[in-house]
Amino acid sequence: MKVGIGYANRKDSLLLGNEVAEKAIRNGRIDKPSLVIAFCHGQVDHEEYFRGLQAVIGNKTPIIGGSAIGIITNDWLSYEGYPAGAAVIESDSLRHKEAAAGDLDKDERKAGQNLAKKLSNSLDSKLILVFYDSIKRAPTATDPPVINASPSLIRGIEEKLKPSVPVVGGGVIGDYSFGHPKQFCGTYVGDQSVVGSLMGGDFQPYFRIMHGCMPKDGIYHTITKSNGAVINEVDGRPIVHLIDEQYGTQDWRCQRPVKRLTIGVNHGEKLGDFTEENFVNRLITGALPNEAGVVIFEPDLDEGTEFLFMLRNNKTMIESVRKNSAELMEEIVKNGEKPVFGLYIDCAGRTAKASDSLIEEASEIQKVFNKYDTPLLGFYSGVEVAPLLGKNRGLDWTGVLLVFAQGQITT
Amino acid sequence: MKDFKIVELEQNLEELKKQVEYYKKIAEQTGNLCLRETEELSKLLFLHKQSKQALQESEEKLRNIIEHSNEIFYVHDREHKFLYVSPKSEEILGYTPEEMMGRWTELITDNPINQKGIELLAEAIKTGERQEPYILELRRKDDDLKLIEIDESPIKNTEDKVVGIVGAARDVTEQEQAKKEKEKLEAQLRHVHKMEAIGTLAGGIAHDFNNILGVVLGNAELAMDDVPEWNPAYFNLQEIRKASLRARDVIRQLLSFSRRTDLERKPIRLIPIIKDSIKFLRSTIPKHIDILQNIEDTYDTIIADPTQIHQVMINLCTNASHAMEKIEGILTIGIHYVVVDEDSQLSVPDLTLGDYLKVTVKDNGQGIAPDVIDRIFDPYFTTKEIGKGTGMGLSVVHGIVQSHDGVITVESELGKGTSVSIFFPVVEKKVVTNKGSLNIR
């Protein structure tokens, strides 16, 4: 497998596509591209960018991906201006099939089923790579955004494909205002769509989930009133008042998303030692204006769910990335394989800008990949999707690192 | 009655519940404190990043202004060691900022105008007071000379001690050249007005005086017919007649200067006339002076009065020979065909575009002092000893050249000689060979 990474940042979207594709082909010494994974910032003209990529790569090679708040490669990390990046893959041994389904905003589960039906399970599947539209409804002056639910989408996919196949990918988002993003659906640019690539053949997928949250106080709370993505009451009290008490002020209500506090559900032993890998965190996208509740990024926490308030911590986040990415690469090498390409699906809330950090956590991933001389493409997402505790899940405020490994290293 | 153990267990349970509540409260307070501190830290980091960004933007803006300005900005310490030079130095002086820092002192020429700047800089460092802007002549990397206007301010530390200089350097070469050119043109204009005024005055006086002189001379001659030669009065009448004739010559010269004489202008070939003049002059100019001819074989028809051209040559060559009285002189007479176009017009601004014959009379004599060169065409102005010149020679030449629609220029350097050039407009050009350009040679 040969992979070339291209990156550019310029206003002319067509030329942006040309430049990204040309650089990827040059860097990877690609002769016959078989698959392109591409992303671009929300303010790029996606159709023009797509056309620019196709002009160089040809229109027979499927292009999957979509909008991103920012791009990460081995040498670049940017969420300012018009950043765009692509990985062009050439491989005879990688078997893959791409498909897309629309109407995500109408029914996420059905969209997932439709996607899975088109993909079929005929390949010796090792992985499904999915990218989908995160935003069901863009925010208004008074209402936070409404998000397409990843659990329903994943359930739809799993109902039609082998549930044992890991689903890895992300919900795409193009800017911090939660405007409507676009998806690259193989041969066209879509919206309210999910695009997937079912992959098999001579490669091995490895992945790790990077966290960075820890329990604020270890006290479990129970959701006592909720409606979809809105949590109204906790322990019989309005959740907004509870959070006011925790902060000591009401200033947090202006934050979208809330910067330091998330909601974490422990899927491990309830009173066991804290293990970050056991937690699924949900970003609080904002408080409703009438104190009626808070909106979380995924509508998957029902009444009766026990959770902990989690504290987002930059130091923990960076340590988690440093440790997990290094360990993953070591594991691959230890297994006698060679990392050939890394895809980093990184929550947009983890940028230095959004998390008020002095260090970009993704720079830790760059260091590790440059040490192993492995091509890296990453993008800043809305939701990250990866298996956690044996189940495919939509995650928040995580970084999902997927590494394609191949071949045996002879000593 | 409850069993004692049950009561004890219930008490322990109650105690444990209290402890759990206590620990929960502690954990909650600690967690909230941690959240608030993290939030506060986050705000501080945000403010820090914001101010850092604002500072970067401000620096960027300043750098843009400095780098896109037409001036070189610089900072140096008291010992003239440069700490910063803006990139404009490469355009203005041909040196990159790095090169400038190392060798700027080598750029200062030995032109005396630089002395003032050196003194003003020393004064600024000594007193800490801003000095007036000054001009330095600097040598570019490609050896061209540039006039640079310097505007500097001393930099002081908290103890009010001068620690360096911040300055801006602007290329004023073109402005200074234009200024000089303007001053020259103004001087020429003033000169033309002055000569016209003098010419009008002299011409008017000469005309009236000529009429009076006619009466004096006529009556003197009539009286001589009536007075016998032995009569002493006859001698007196002869003296009156001689003086009147001399006065008539002077009046002719004044009329030539004021262009009031009748001209017999017709198309003539200039070269043969000049050559005739040279032949005549050879017999009158002292032998220790060599006469060199540098006459181009070219089309040479101009509209002129041959007698007046002859007069011009005699006056110019006589002046030249007087300037070379005490040396082994070389008098060079040249004729060249020149074409005045828009580029070459700048060297002799009085000339209009067209073709000219340029006649040059050059000597290697004592030269003319710069302070009197503007007055050499004034009537009766002379630097010669009494009896050696009337001061009318060049005035007459000036008048004749102007009446021929020509232009006269003079270049002179003390101790090295003088070169007078006259440009006569060429007419009816048919055949031109060896055409030259207007480089005054």
pLDDT band, residue B428 (cuts 50/70/90): low
pLDDT of residue A332: 96
Task: Give chain B positions within 8 Å (CB) of A311.
Answer: 31, 34-35, 38
Q: How far apart are CA B373 and CA B386, in angstroms?
A: 19
Q: How far apart are CA A101 and CA A112, in angstroms?
A: 8
Strand partners, A399: A210, A346
Higher pLDDT, A140 or B386: A140
Asked if residues A71 and A16 have their Cβ atoms less than 8 Å apart, the reply is: no
Interface test with B, best of A261, A356, A357, A358 (most B CBs within 10 A): A356
Q: What is the pTM of this model?
A: 0.62
pLDDT of residue A315: 87
pLDDT band, residue B437 (cuts 50/70/90): very low
- Work out the burial of residue B234: count CB atoms within 10 Å of its CB; fewer than 13 is exposed, 13-18 middle, 19 or more buried: middle
Strand partners, A343: A377, A402
CA A333 to chain centre: 25
Task: Give chain A positions within 8 Å (CB) of B28.
Answer: 217, 219
Render pLDDT for A233-276 as a digit per residue (tens, 0 to 9).
999 999 999 999 999 999 999 888 888 899 999 998 999 999 88
- Tokens 């002086």 correspond to B93
pLDDT band, residue A107 (cuts 50/70/90): very high
Q: How far apart are CA B377 and CA B197, in angstroms?
A: 13
Size of chain A in residues: 411
pLDDT band, residue B187 (cuts 50/70/90): confident
- Mean pLDDT over A129-146 rounds to 88
- Tokens 């159709």 correspond to A47
pLDDT of residue A255: 87
Indicate yes or no: CB of B34 within 8 angstroms of CB of A216.
yes
A-B C-beta contacts closer than 8 Å: 50
pLDDT of residue A122: 61
Q: How far apart are CA B376 and CA B383, in angstroms?
A: 9
Mean pLDDT of all residues belonging to chain A: 93
pLDDT band, residue B58 (cuts 50/70/90): very high
Task: Give chain A positions within 8 Å (CB) of B24.
Answer: 217, 219
Task: Give me the interface pTM, i.e. the ipTM.
Answer: 0.75
Higher pLDDT, B392 or A276: A276
In the structure encoding, which two tokens stand for residue A162, read together? 């082998």
Render pLDDT for B142-184 as a digit per residue (tens, 0 to 9).
999 999 999 999 999 988 899 999 999 999 999 888 888 888 7
| Interfacial residues of A (vs B; Cβ cutoff 8 Å) | 215-219, 245-248, 252, 259-261, 309, 311-313, 356-358
Mean pLDDT of all residues belonging to chain B: 84
Element (H, E) at B176: helix B173-226
Indicate yes or no: CB of A260 within 8 angstroms of CB of B30.
no
pLDDT band, residue A224 (cuts 50/70/90): very high
Q: Which residues contact B424 (CB under 8 A, 6 or more apart)?
A: B270, B302, B304, B356, B357, B359, B401, B404, B406
Interface test with A, best of B21, B30, B38 (most A CBs within 10 A): B38
Helices (H), B258-365: 270-284, 306-323
Distances (CA, A) of A222 to A225, A237, A253, A304, B27: 9, 10, 21, 6, 17
In the structure encoding, which two tokens stand for residue B154, read together? 């001393």
Reply yes or no on whether the pLDDT at B69 is more than 70. Answer: yes
Q: Report the candidate in B338, B269, B254, B260 with the shortest Cα–Cα distance to residue B302.
A: B269
Q: Is the peptide bond before A257 cis (omega within 30 degrees of 0)?
A: yes
Render pLDDT for A26-74 as a digit per residue (tens, 0 to 9).
999 999 999 999 999 999 999 999 999 999 999 999 999 999 999 999 9
In the structure encoding, which two tokens stand for residue B232, read together? 């002493």
Q: How far apart are CA A86 and CA A39, in angstroms?
A: 6
Q: How far apart are CA A344 and CA A169, in angstroms?
A: 9
Render pLDDT for A166-212 as a digit per residue (tens, 0 to 9).
999 999 999 988 899 999 999 999 999 999 999 999 999 999 999 88
Element (H, E) at A345: strand A338-347
pLDDT of residue A14: 97
Q: What percent of chain B has a predicted confidence (pLDDT) above 70?
A: 89
- The DSSP secondary-structure symbol of A68 reads E
Distances (CA, A) of B137 to A109, B124, B166, B178, B205: 81, 20, 19, 16, 51
- Tokens 């990529």 correspond to A53
| Interfacial residues of B (vs A; Cβ cutoff 8 Å) | 24, 27-28, 30-32, 34-36, 38-39, 42-43, 45-46, 49
| Ramachandran category for residue A110: left, alpha or beta (phi over 0 → left; psi -120 to 50 → alpha) | alpha
CA B373 to chain centre: 17
Other CB atoms within 10 A of residue A270 CB: 8
Reply yes or no on whether the pLDDT at B351 is more than 90. Answer: no
Nearest CA in chain B to A248: B36
pLDDT of residue B257: 62
pLDDT band, residue A410 (cuts 50/70/90): very low
- Rounded to the nearest angstrom, the minimum Cα separation between B14 and chain A is 20
Indicate yes or no: CB of A261 within 8 angstroms of CB of B35.
yes
Which of B30, B36, B49 comes nearest A217 by C-beta? B30
Indicate yes or no: CB of A246 within 8 angstroms of CB of B32.
yes
Reply yes or no on whether the pLDDT at B261 is more than 70. Answer: no
Task: Give chain A positions within 8 Å (CB) of B27.
Answer: 217-219
The beta-carbon contacts of B75-83 under 8 Å, at least 24 apart in sequence, are: B75/B155, B75/B164, B75/B165, B75/B166, B75/B167, B76/B164, B76/B165, B76/B167, B77/B163, B77/B164, B78/B125, B78/B162, B78/B163, B78/B164, B80/B105, B83/B164
Asked if residues A131 and A379 have their Cβ atoms less than 8 Å apart, the reply is: no
Q: Which residues contact B432 (CB under 8 A, 6 or more apart)?
A: B298, B299, B337, B355
CA A147 to chain centre: 14
